[in-house]
Chain A
Amino acid sequence: MTITTADLVELELPAGIDSTQATTILAEKLAASGRVTDQAGFLADVRAREEQMATGLEGGIGIPHARSAHVAQASVAFGRSAEGVDFGAGDGPATLIFLIAAPDGAGADHMKILGALARKLIHAEFKDGLREAPDAASAATIINEGVGA
């Protein structure tokens, strides 16, 4: 059970978009792959979470996420933005964006993988690897290997 694939990676998010647009671009990929069954419903759940507290983190990271009934499989779509997208972090826009989709009522296995991904985000070498990844496939490999799946 891998949590991401090359199809779920967008290394060149367009410039000048906001967090909603970035999240939508990534959600489209999740929906196209069948991992998200209802794109609009899933985005609504993500927005609800984002409204509780912005998900931007120091160091240029944005982690929009939700547990949602519209998710079939624990997944992450990854986007990279050269100029950055504002996710409300105190120190500036996010250049690495992870849209994390967790199935509602999922078993602990799904959640452990997502937990492992979250833990990886702390480590500079993981983030640097993604910043320097030459193509979508290698970015997906870094993420999947990072969470041990």
Chain B
Amino acid sequence: MRIVAITACPTGIAHTYMAAESLEVAAKAAGHEIVVETQGSAGSTPLSAEELQNADVAIFAADIGVKGRERFAHLPIVEGPVKRGINDAQGMLSEAQAAVDAKPAVDPAAKLDTSGKLPANPGMASVVAPGYKPGPGALLRTWLMTGVSYMIPFVAAGGLLIAIAFLIGGPEIASKVNGGTFDGQTYKEIADITDIWGQVGIAGVLFKIGTTAFSMLVPILAGYIAYGMADRQGLVPGIVGGLLAVSINAGFLGGLIAGLLAGAVVLAINRIPVHKNVRGIMPTVIVPLVSVTIVGILMIAVVGSPIASLMGTITDWLEGLNGTSAWLLGGLLGLMMAVDMGGPINKVAYTFGVASLASGNQEVMGAVIAAGMTPPLALALSTVVAKKLWTTEEREAGKAAWLLGASFITEGAIPFAAADPLRVIPSMMAGSATAGALSMAFSASSPAPHGGIWIIALIGTPGLWLVAILAGTAVSAVCVTFAKTVGRQPAAKADAQAATAAAGAPSLTTVAG
């Protein structure tokens, strides 16, 4: 494999060069080609356009921001602290190998194309100037993937903990911890977290830990999107913006907005020329203060208010629909469940389900749950039947998605939707609409507001409800599999490594009730 690497450390006289040497020695020993750009005090010889273009993968061993990061947007990137480059060069090389293996081989000229379309001119490689910059599409994908890759472990840890809590404590564990009505039984919220163990046992504790991990999904997504754009300085406005996105019910799409906004604001602030004396406190005081303020105001005032009124409007509209044909209502709710995965529209649909439950209509809830289960299931299915379309990381995520989907934990799908929203979300909506419409048509009622497959014994017409879920899963799986094959080159697709998954379910707040 052909590797381009960057090493950098704060002082730039020692670690930078040790990491470079260590990577070079290890790469040569393993028979790889490597060119290292040492961003140290001795000045660095920049990688040539040709080296960048011919590379299969990039390795960054750096404790400070990599200069000219945008040059690597067309490559998979393995990243670590500079000491890792020194002490564990082989480990970084094997990660690089894994990243290359996950990416189908393509014509080198095609790699430079960032739009996802076939290059018009096969000889375009020769016209790429040294100052080549990737297009906005490739940059955006790189940023989103940075956020997604940091978010995935939170989804895995939180989602699996919640599913395990359901398995050992029964699906009513969510209501026992957070309060709410489950199958006619009303529970009071356990306000003091330390009382959970004594009152509902280990299952309740695991559930609480899981939902806590889930509460970080959107902040981490937003924070690391901004980090991908603006390095360390992006983290603070990104995370705070993500927390505000949660507060204003903007869901993961709000998190995407917060992250991109935070990155852009930090980059903009850094363009303003400042006096030498102020420069020292820019990264520690001025940039955090100003960027958080700007992002926060924009999230609350500009993004928040329209979302609040949108939710009100949709709720009114939905209530006005009472009395239309049942399957149509189910289909609509299905579309809503999948469109923003825990965002405002999903929340309206889920809340409508819970409200219907309270007024004695259990069929709406059955449809909402069915529609929220299909996205992760469909993505899991697609990673199994169409292996080649998905990277190793995606296929791994697909395994967990089976359990998350079965448990009505739609968050399992967010990483994949966040990485490739235009292909994934519509595909998920199609299947969720199918599941919702069929579930309503079959009059499958659910007296419980959550639990997924684990409440099958409580469902009115369990067999037909399962049919609705399976049909929705199949529809979404076919759609997303097809969508992944069109409009994008395989290489570009692999860039969006984790673009799997699904939309939809009632968010953690759903589970949190």
Interface residues of A (CB under 8 A from B): 49, 52-53, 55, 57-58, 63, 65-67, 100, 102, 106, 108, 111-112, 114-123
Contacts and interface: CB of A to CB of B under 8 A. Distances in A.
B11 A108 contact: no
A102 B16 CA distance: 14
B14 A118 contact: yes
B87 A108 contact: no
A114 B14 CA distance: 7
Interface stretch (B34-42, B305-313, B363-371, B386-394): B34-42
Contact of B83 (A57, A67, A116): A57
Nearest to A109: B42
B42 A122 contact: no
A67 B16 CA distance: 14
B40 A115 contact: yes
A65 B11 contact: yes
Interface of B: 10-18, 20-22, 25, 38, 40-43, 63, 83, 86-87
A102 B21 contact: no
Given A100-B14, A119-B18, A122-B21, 14 more contacts: A53-B10, A57-B18, A67-B41, A102-B13, A112-B42, A114-B13, A115-B13, A118-B18, A118-B21, A119-B17, A122-B18, A122-B22, A122-B25, A122-B86
A33 B12 CA distance: 25
A123 B83 CA distance: 16
A67 to B, nearest CB: 6
B13 A100 contact: yes
Nearest to A120: B21
Contacts of A119: 17-18, 20-21
A119 B24 CA distance: 10
Contacts of A111: 12-13, 40-43
B10 A52 contact: yes
B3 to A, nearest CB: 17
Contacts of A112: 42
A123 B42 CA distance: 21
Given A115-B40, A122-B18, A65 B13 contact: yes
A118 B17 contact: yes
A121 B14 CA distance: 9
Contacts of A65: 11, 13-14
Nearest to B38: A115
A121 to B, nearest CB: 6
B10 A118 contact: no
A99 to B, nearest CB: 11
Q: Which 6 A-B pairs rank lowest in CB-CB distance, beginning with the nearest?
A: A111-B42, A118-B17, A119-B21, A115-B17, A122-B21, A111-B41
A118 B16 contact: yes
B437 to A, nearest CB: 58
Of B13, B38, B63, most A-chain CB atoms within 10 Å: B13
Nearest to B21: A119
A75 to B, nearest CB: 12
Nearest to B82: A53
A83 to B, nearest CB: 22
Contacts of B25: 122-123
B283 to A, nearest CB: 14
Contact of A66 (B11, B15, B17): B11
Contacts of A123: 21, 25
A52 B25 CA distance: 27
A64 B16 CA distance: 14
5 contacts: A49-B10, A57-B83, A57-B87, A111-B12, A115-B16
Contacts of B21: 118-123
A53 B63 CA distance: 10
B17 A116 contact: yes
